Amino acid sequence: KYEKIWLLFGIGSLVVFLLVLGYGAFWQGTHPQSHGITIDPNNIESNEAFKPENLGLTQVEEDKYILNIAASAFYYDLGKDEDGNAVRHIRVPKGSTVLFQVASKDVVHGFNVAGTNVNMMVEPGYISSLETVMKNPGTYTIVCNEYCGIGHHMMYATLEVY
Ligand code: CUA
């Protein structure tokens, strides 16, 4: 009789443990890295970081940069260069600390700097942010890795560490 109770208790604990584990994985896998920073997806420009003039790369200290990106189907807006052309290529010196901040104007997008630890889900309503040191020189492709519609594969840009 006691054996049965202990067996049930054991199975019960195991189920609870698996639920907690599953919930934790689900939570981490489906929420942006920065919690609690909300933004109006219909008006991301209301946030200073996502005003058109603040999009793209900004140097804030000798070796520190902020990269603000507005994601929408099917485009990463990295601001404009001096000639008014859309920026598609970002360059930072080796060893730079880069704070990536990405917001979506419409649906869920991904933001993955292929070959680095920069990999975020960009949910409308939240600012996804991640700070990292770009240690290895090279040209990295920034890709959307959440299926967002017919032009999903066209969402990319490049990041060069020199
Ligand atoms: Cu944006 Cu896939």
SS3 105: coil
Beta-carbon contacts of 3 under 8 Å, excluding residues fewer than 6 positions away, are none
Q: For residue 39, is it within any domain?
A: no
pLDDT of residue 125: 95
SS3 151: coil
- Ligand 1 close to Cβ of residue 155 (< 6 A): yes
SS3 68: strand
In terms of Cβ atoms closer than 10 Å to its own Cβ (0-12, 13-18, 19+), residue 37 is middle
Residue 77 belongs to domain spanning: 44-161
Q: For residue 91, is it within any domain?
A: yes
- Ligand 1 close to Cβ of residue 120 (< 6 A): no
Q: 137 and 102, same structural domain? A: yes
Q: Which atom of ligand 1 is nearest to the CA of 147?
A: 2
Q: For residue 147, is it within any domain?
A: yes
Q: For residue 36, is it within any domain?
A: no
Q: From start to end of 28-162, where are the E strands?
A: 56-61, 64-72, 75-77, 89-92, 96-104, 109-113, 119-122, 128-134, 138-143, 156-161
Q: 59 and 91, same structural domain? A: yes
Asked whether the ipTM of the predicted complex exceeds the cut of 0.90, the reply is: yes
Report pLDDT digits (tens) over 57-113: 999 999 999 999 999 999 999 999 999 999 999 999 999 999 999 999 999 999 999
* Confidence band of 13 (pLDDT split at 50, 70, 90): confident
Q: Whose CA is nearest to atom 1 of ligand 1?
A: 109
Q: 48 and 104, same structural domain? A: yes
Count: domains in the chain:
2
Q: 24 and 60, same structural domain? A: no
Q: 72 and 23, same structural domain? A: no
